[in-house]
Amino acid sequence: MSSVRVLVGTRKGAFVLTSDGKRKDWQVSGPFFAGWEIYHMKGSEADPERIYVSQTSGWFGQLIQRSDDGGKTWRQPGLPNEAIPPPGPPQALPNRFAYDTAAKPLTTHQWYDGTQHPWEFKRVWHIEPSLTDPDTVYAGVEDAALFRSSDGGENWQEISGLRGHGTGPQWQPGAGGMGLHTIILDATNPQRIYIAISAAGAFRTDDGGVTWKPINKGLVSNFMPNPTAEVGHCVHHVAMHRARPDVLFMQKHWDVMRSDDAGENWREVSGNLPTDFGFAIDVHAHEPETLYVVPIKSDSEHFPLDGKLRVYRSRTGGEEWEPLAKGLPEKDCYVNVLRDAMAVDRLDECGIYFGTTGGQVYASADSGDSWTPIVRDLPAVLSVEGQTLN
């Protein structure tokens, strides 16, 4: 029987949750890297025992950790091949993510008020392992840029065509910073990559990162001087079903959107959602027209409407939505679900997972019909990823 591993990044460490295919009893391991912010952790499909972790600290900076045994032990690429001993902090390695300034140097970007701000490396928001090679992994960082490692995280090179394609100086920071938070790899075309930046929008490459184009036509953002501008939109997350790489779903700063042509055009599919503001969006593993979002009251009130936590599901690609409430808090719930804090597994009965800023991780083993908390009282959850293991 297949088993499941759920990787949870929090404000104060990383946790690994494991269960068999029934997904009723869960074992919790961690915290790993206690006290560090774990922005994202994700496992390799090419090698299920390989897991990458982004950890950051105001004292020690940004580090990448790697496990080659499913999270039992960890090491920092670039150091000797042994686990980092706990109590001391890992050794920081400078310039591991140095921006490429040789081709098209970008030293500043301009905010809406016209002021110029230096381009600075701050943290890794998202890690995306290759679908076929466990040693190849992508990293989206703040200030927004895309990096790639082909040696398991030992060395990183910026894919500089993204920032250098022309609109980079116009990108703006969202409320949480100017982070590249979404990386989607096309299993049918290794040369195609989608990324999204808050607040710049979505972009696509069809040649492995050499050239890029903004894919934001149809997005409307009323907070911008030009609401339909080519770049500047605050995209919160983008999701794709791997069987249909031309169909994308987006949760943006207000509006749930859909594209049927690889991002060339977008249309709104917020349907009957009670509010179309939120951060997380994901697609059912086996049903390409089944989507999940967690509506949040507003851009200033980041909690569920009426204090009732609800996941909304659409089985029609966004045209109609239904609330999923069984097992979720019915009152006095004022948590948020962040952009990388929702995931699915690939078991025959698709499992859905999401974590909250209140430290709960909820799971559904029946495509969202019912939910149960598989762990409570963690630090605020920043990211959730599911792995299906044979």
pLDDT digits (tens, 9 = 90+) for 49-97: 999 999 998 888 889 999 999 999 998 886 544 444 343 444 444 447 7
For the chain, give the mean pLDDT: 91
DSSP H or E run through 74? none
What is the pLDDT, as a whole number, of residue 118?
Answer: 82
Name the percent of the chain lying above pLDDT 90. 79
Tell me how long the chain is.
390
For tokens 């109590």, name the residue. Answer: 87
Nearest to 154 by CA among 76, 77, 87, 231: 77
Mean pLDDT of 115-125: 86
CB 171 within 8 A of CB 185: no
What is the pLDDT, as a whole number, of residue 198?
Answer: 92
Contacts (Cβ under 8 Å, ≥6 apart) of 177: 122, 142, 143, 198
Mean pLDDT of 31-45: 96
Q: Which two tokens stand for residue 208?
A: 């492995």
Comparing 293 with 90, which gets the higher pLDDT? 293
Coil, strand or helix: which one is 65?
Answer: strand
What are phi and psi for residue 305, nearest 5 degrees?
A: -60, 135
Q: What is the distance between the alpha carbons of residues 168 and 199, in angstroms, rounded to a whole number?
A: 11
What is the pLDDT, as a whole number, of residue 112?
Answer: 65
Mean pLDDT of 335-361: 97
What are phi and psi for residue 137, nearest 5 degrees?
A: -150, 145
Coil, strand or helix: which one is 116?
Answer: strand
Nearest to 251 by CA among 243, 261, 240: 240
Q: What is the distance between the alpha carbons of residues 291 and 281, in angstroms, rounded to a whole number?
A: 7
Q: What is the distance between the alpha carbons of residues 340 and 184, in angstroms, rounded to a whole number?
A: 13
Mean pLDDT of 119-132: 94
- Beta strand pairing call for 201-205 and 322-324: unpaired
* CB < 8 Å & 24+ apart, contacts of 264-273: 264/215, 264/217, 265/217, 265/218, 266/216, 266/217, 266/218, 266/219, 267/218, 269/314, 269/317, 269/318, 269/319, 270/318, 271/314, 271/318, 271/319, 271/320, 271/321, 272/320, 272/321, 273/312, 273/321
Indicate if the alpha-carbon torsion angle 367, 372, 378, 379 is positive or negative.
Answer: positive
Lowest-confidence segment of 77-81, 152-156, 219-223, 241-245 by average pLDDT: 77-81
CB 180 within 8 A of CB 193: no
